[in-house]
Structure 1
Amino acid sequence: MSSDVVDNIPERLREELARRGYSLAGAARAIGDDSSQSLRDTLAGRKKCTAELLARLSALGIDTWYVLVGVNNHASSVQSVEFSATCSTIPIYDIEAAAGSGRLFDAERIDRHIPLDSQWLNEHGVDAQHVVALTAVGDSMADTVNEGDVILVDRSRTKPDGVFLVRVGDELRIKRVQRMAGGALSLVSDNRKYEPELITPEMLGRGEVEVIGQVFGHLGRVS
């Protein structure tokens, strides 16, 4: 087996996870790992892709022969979906890496890309160039958005009310954002065990809180 074939195993594995619709967190959870770090290290080339890992991934429908040697029956169909004129390619960002500065998404690592139907985006009044995606964590918005869901965010829409991705300090949160009197905002969770959080105009003015964009779907419409 040539060195090029071996060196490209992580990239082919990433392609297969994307083909099957798995995020890093979702795939790790599906194969029984408590954390996505081991799989993340494999995709980054920091760890070897073991036979034991491939055996577990095969249960998810991953084409392990393609991962190993680069030959499959999916390549032409994957390419045609990604580059079809009827599809828009949307970047999925690593939520852990993204939870940082005000340059959010501008200098963060793209985990992978997914194709979305351009007509579906148009029906939602969304311009693909403003759309980013990331994986949700936590249960504060269950069952509207569940942990492991890939959420779709329209960065051109930042005016409440609705479900939004919000940066509070160095944390990213998915909340229902409601306008309050005097320019304040209320961050509300659909899971009622979490209390609403009041964001004052002063916090907004100091840049402590930023409304990143509206969550309009998670591979489906947010209610």
Structure 2
Amino acid sequence: MADSRPGPSRQTSRLTAQQARLLFEKLETDSELDNSSDEESVPAPEASDSDTDISPVSEEATASNAAVSEQGDGPPPRKRRNIQDEDSPAWKKIQEDEAETRNNFRFLPPNQPGLQADLDDQSSALDAFQTLFTIQVVEFLLKSINDYAEHRCSTNQPAQRQAIFNEWKKVTLSELYKFIAVILQIVIDKPVSTRLCFVSKDSPSYKPCCYHMFARPRFEAIY
């Protein structure tokens, strides 16, 4: 038969609100006392010699820092390098007679520079012209003119009746000299029209020498 007697009762102690408040205040006071005792036990660091030997900032450094701060976040200005060697002598202006060259390949022409022609006060304009336009130059020009005319004749077959190369004849050496003379005359005294040098005697552009040297169609064919 089960025992119907009640067992031992558990007595629980309950704190009142006033007792709980006093307990919390006591715990806080003990914690503050522990913290203050820890701070007093840690010694303060001693000042080293390096801290006491701090030199004042110079005015140049202050100005430099101020300039950098004004420029913003950009890169600092580059320092200019002095490329002149301290041991090198100062610049000296070189005179013309003191100038020297290291060029070992000197220009030594066999003759004096310029036109080499045996001309004097008695020489004519034709002599001066033939000095520049030698026979080799004139013959090359003559061959080029005739070769070009023959090429035009061969590519224009059948030739039209009014074509310039319809009745082409090769230019001779004497004819080429006269042609050059007429060209020089036209260049010196520029006419209004080249055709007027041959046909219109009343025109100020008329050149009797041109008329006597060439017929107009022949001059235009060579020209």
TM-score band w.r.t. shorter chain: under 0.3
Greater RCO, 1 or 2 (C-alpha within 8 Å, sep 6+): 1
TM-score scaled to structure 1, two decimals?
Answer: 0.16
Normalized per residue, the structure richer in helix is 2
TM-score scaled to structure 2, two decimals?
Answer: 0.16
Rg larger in structure: 2
